[in-house]
Structure 1
Amino acid sequence: MKFKVETFPNYRIAYIRRVGQYGPANIEVMEKVKKWAKEKNLLESAILFAIPQDNPESTLPDNCRFDACIVIPNDYQVDDLVLEGELSGGKYLIYEVKHTPDDIQKAYSDVFQSLQHNGYKIDNKPIMEKYIGDMISNPYCEICVPVKP
Structure 2
Amino acid sequence: MNITVVTLPETAVVRLRCTGPYGGNNRNMMERLKSWARERGLLENGVILGVAWDDPVCIPPEQCRYDVCLATKGCLPEPEADIAPGRIPGGRYACFLGAHTPSGVQALWETSFAALAEQGLSPAPGRPVLERYRPERLDRGLCELCIPI
TM-score, L = length of structure 1: 0.86
Runs of 4+ off more than 4 Å? none
For the residues of structure 2 that align with 1:135 and 1:27, how far apart are their CA atoms? 19
The match for 2:22 is: 22
Describe the SS at the equivalent of 2:25.
helix
Among all aligned residue pairs of Structure 1 and Structure 2, give the percentage whose two residues are the same amino acid: 29
Describe the SS at the equivalent of 1:144.
strand
For the residues of structure 2 that align with 1:113 and 1:133, how far apart are their CA atoms? 27
Question: Aligned letter for 2:103?
Answer: D
The match for 1:139 is: 141
- Report deviation, 1:56: 2.6
Contact map agreement 2:16 2:29 (CA 8 A) in 1 = yes
For the residues of structure 1 that align with 2:79 and 2:88, how far apart are their CA atoms? 19
- Report deviation, 1:20: 2.3
Contact map agreement 1:14 1:72 (CA 8 A) in 2 = no
- Report deviation, 1:74: 5.3
Structure 1 unaligned regions, length at least 5: none
The match for 2:65 is: 65
Contact map agreement 1:12 1:73 (CA 8 A) in 2 = no
The match for 1:112 is: 113
Give the superposed CA RMSD. 2.1
- Report deviation, 1:44: 0.5
Structure 2 unaligned regions, length at least 5: none
- Report deviation, 1:32: 1.0
Question: Aligned letter for 1:12?
Answer: A
